[in-house]
Amino acid sequence: MGDQGIAAMIDRPAADLTVARARAGDPAAFERLYRREVGRVYAICLRMTADPARAEEHTQETFVRAWRKLDSYRGEGEFGPWLRRIAVNVVYSGGRSQGRRGDRERPLEQAPQDPPAVDGSPAVAVDLERAIAELPAGARQVFVLHDVEGYRHAEIAGMLELTAGTSKSQLHRARRLLREALER
C-alpha cells in the first residue's frame, strides 16, 4: 500500500491511518498498534492457555504473524478483532503442537496478578479467573471465545475445528464447571 492508499484513508479515524502506515511498512506505526493492542492480545492468550509464560510467547508470535500478514488485512473490519483472531489461531496451533499435557491444571500461585474486578469485588474476580484457568482446555477456550470475546458458535467452530454443536456443548460444560467452582 503506497501513499495513494494512505491518502484514501484520510477521512477515517487516526487508528485506520496508523494501520495504513503500518501496512506501508512503517515500524513506528506498527509499534503504536502493538502498544494499543498488546494488553488485549495477552489477556485472550492467558485466558485460553491458563499459563502466563505460554501466553507471553503466544502474544509475541501473534504480533510477528500480524506484521507478516498486514498486507492481507483489508481494512473492512476493525484491526483489533482481526488481530485477536490471529491470537486465537496462534494459541490453538500452539496447543495442537504441544498436545494436551499441562492444559488442565496450573499452580494457583500463577494466577493473574491484577484481574479485572467483577461486581466491584476483587476477590470475586480472582476466584473467577482461577476458575476459568482450571477449566479443561476445550471448555476454557470455547468459554473465553464466546462469553469473553463475543464470538458466535459458528465462528468458534471454524477457529477451533469443531462443530457448532460441540462448541455449544463445551460452553455449557464450562458454565456448569464455573458455577460449581464458584459455589465452593
CATH of the domain at 136: 1.10.10.10
- My answer on whether 56 and 115 are in the same domain is no
Q: Tens digit of pLDDT for each residue in 6-60?
A: 444 444 456 678 988 999 999 999 999 999 999 999 999 999 998 999 999 999 9
Number of domains within the chain: 2
Give which of 136, 140, 127, 150 is closest to 171, Cα–Cα: 140
Domain holding 62, by residue range, is 12-99
pTM, 2 dp: 0.67
- My answer on whether 87 and 164 are in the same domain is no
Query: Phi/psi at 124 (nearest 5 deg)?
Result: -65, -40
pLDDT band per the 50, 70, 90 thresholds, residue 92: confident
- My answer on whether 95 and 65 are in the same domain is yes
- My answer on whether 68 and 47 are in the same domain is yes
Alpha carbons 130 and 81: distance in angstroms, whole number: 25
- My answer on whether 150 and 165 are in the same domain is yes
Q: Tens digit of pLDDT for each residue in 106-130?
A: 333 333 334 444 445 555 566 788 8
